[in-house]
Structure 1
């Protein structure tokens, strides 16, 4: 979701936030599990693809670009080993990595062809079509050899994977020994009164604006707060990264905890 032209780095407003073990309570702890079936998720994102970037920038007040910049800053590429971004959507995190390391190959994978088509178009406009390779792939069964990528990242996509652990294990498998896995995901703010205000916006305002502008039959912007509310956060998600085989697992809240960056390293 970053612009095609180079912009100055956003202010590092989260530089004083520490990694800790807190796990925020979910915004929406609905007892009925959200439908994350592959058929539904693929169709939903295919329908909203044409307005996906516009709505993400609008509904996040453009802070989503800062979160991706922050991810690349925390986990920068070193050398010429490739980087993989799974559940890439239209490729905004992949583009952020390509800008940070122009000589590093970047692979952007997603199982939604409509999203990939838009990503390829953006890549041609930005002149990164030789650096970024676009691959249609299910993150639960990645078509890449083991130990290939120095960094494996995902931004706001792990929550949509039907089997979270399968996705994390695949990310770990294709990461090089000593390499890093980065998971950027929505979370629940812990600080009141911001938590209450944000919860109201996230549950009531965002879905209505998103639905009105996207005209999506699958109610993607109702799905968003529902899926965030039922997804593990904080130490709970850190534990899943450890169960997937990662070590040195940490997490850092961003923008008062609206998003959280989870990091882990694959053992040597």
Structure 2
């Protein structure tokens, strides 16, 4: 499988751990502030981004949904509120994030419908053709091998099922691009360090976004892996994109 530049971007450059182990360690360390920092750093716009991504599944009306890199379960919870599927399973490699997510789900009384499990996006422990839809928000940058992760999500999708990815991208408007680069290089790592004592996590965020094969390149990779009806849609002047593909 092809290696991409972002596959080798890691949170801790001096560490001997492989990427996915470093990512799990990083998210464990910021789990307690993750939801707050998402809202704070995006001024709450990330909630609308997630809603727009989930709305891509509205016509499909999926009954069984897999949320990959579910983190604290934001997309899983929002998917239930917007689409009311019968079952949502969230998987993530960070037990710290999952623990926070389980508490949120329990508090909302959604534990009969939403289940969060420890799981690796590149080795998904479900049978072929299991899910009507797969979602992943801000997680594909963290895959150690992008094509392997995309292939696994395709494998567990039912024929006619749909993948929806929400991921950061780089704005292309010159004036806004300069502001964005300043924000991602200076502001986000500084805020991350202040609130979570982990500057590396938000430096990694910027470095992995810069290296990620976005827009047309990402769609081409999805096509190569085997998805059909692929598309991308930029949001908020190109800060992030929604990618869709069917099986």
TM-score of the pair, normalised by structure 2: 0.91
Q: Residues 60-71 of structure 1 correspond to what in structure 2 (within 5 A)?
A: 60-71=42-53
Cα deviation digits, residues 25-45 of structure 1 (max 9, x gap): xxxxx99x5226122111001
Shift of residue 243, structure 1, vs aligned partner: 1.5
Contact 1:156 1:184 (8 Å CA) reproduced: yes
Q: Distance in 2 between matches of 1:103 and 1:44?
A: 31
Is 1:230 matched up with 2:177? no
Is the CA contact (8 Å cut-off) linking 1:109 and 1:137 kept in structure 2? Answer: yes
Structure 2 distance, partners of 1:34, 1:250, is: 25
C-alpha separation between the residues in 1 aligned to 2:54 and 2:164?
Answer: 9
Identify the match of residue 157 of structure 1 among 116, 136, 139.
139
Gaps spanning 5+ residues in structure 1: where? 1-29
Q: What is the aligned counterpart of 1:166 among 119, 127, 148?
A: 148
Do 1:77 and 1:104's aligned partners in 2 also have CA atoms closer than 8 Å? no
- Say which SS state the counterpart of residue 141 (structure 1) adopts: coil
Bigger helix fraction: 2
- Assess, with a 3 A threshold, how the Cα gap between structure 1 residues 123 and 77 changes in structure 2: closer, same or farther: farther
- Secondary structure at the residue paired with 1:193? helix
Q: Distance in 2 between matches of 1:59 and 1:79?
A: 32
Distance 2:207 2:26 in 1: 14
Q: Distance in 1 between matches of 2:56 and 2:174?
A: 27
- Give the whole-Å Cα distance in 1 for the aligned partners of 2:151 and 2:113: 26
Residue 76 of structure 1 and its aligned partner are, at CA, apart by 2.3
Cα shift at 1:192: 2.5
Matched, 1:76 2:64: no
1:109-150 CA deviation, whole Å, 9 max, x = no partner? 111111111110000111111110111100000001111111
Which stretches of structure 1, 4 residues or longer, exceed 6 Å deviation after superposition? none
The TM-score, its normalising length taken from structure 1, stands at 0.84
Q: What is residue 182 of structure 1 aligned with on the other side?
A: 164
Structure 1 SS opposite 2:110? coil
Q: Does 1:35 align with 2:10?
A: yes
Deviations 1:184-229 (A, max 9, x none): 000011113111111111111111111121112x710111000100
Secondary structure of 2:111 counterpart: coil
**Cα distance, 1:77 vs. partner?**
6.7
Contact 1:77/1:151 (CA < 8 Å) preserved in 2? no
Please identify, of 164-173 and 196-205, the stretch whose mean Cα deviation from structure 2 is larger.
196-205
Query: Counterpart of 1:88 in 2: which secondary structure?
Result: coil
> Do residues 139 (structure 1) and 121 (structure 2) align?
yes
- 1:93 paired to 2:75: yes
Where does the alignment leave 5 or more consecutive residues of structure 2 unmatched? Answer: 12-18
CA RMSD of aligned residues (A): 1.8
Tell me how far apart the structure 2 counterparts of residues 158 and 96 of structure 1 sit (CA, whole Å): 19
Aligned residues: 236
Q: Which residue does 2:33 correspond to in 1?
A: 51
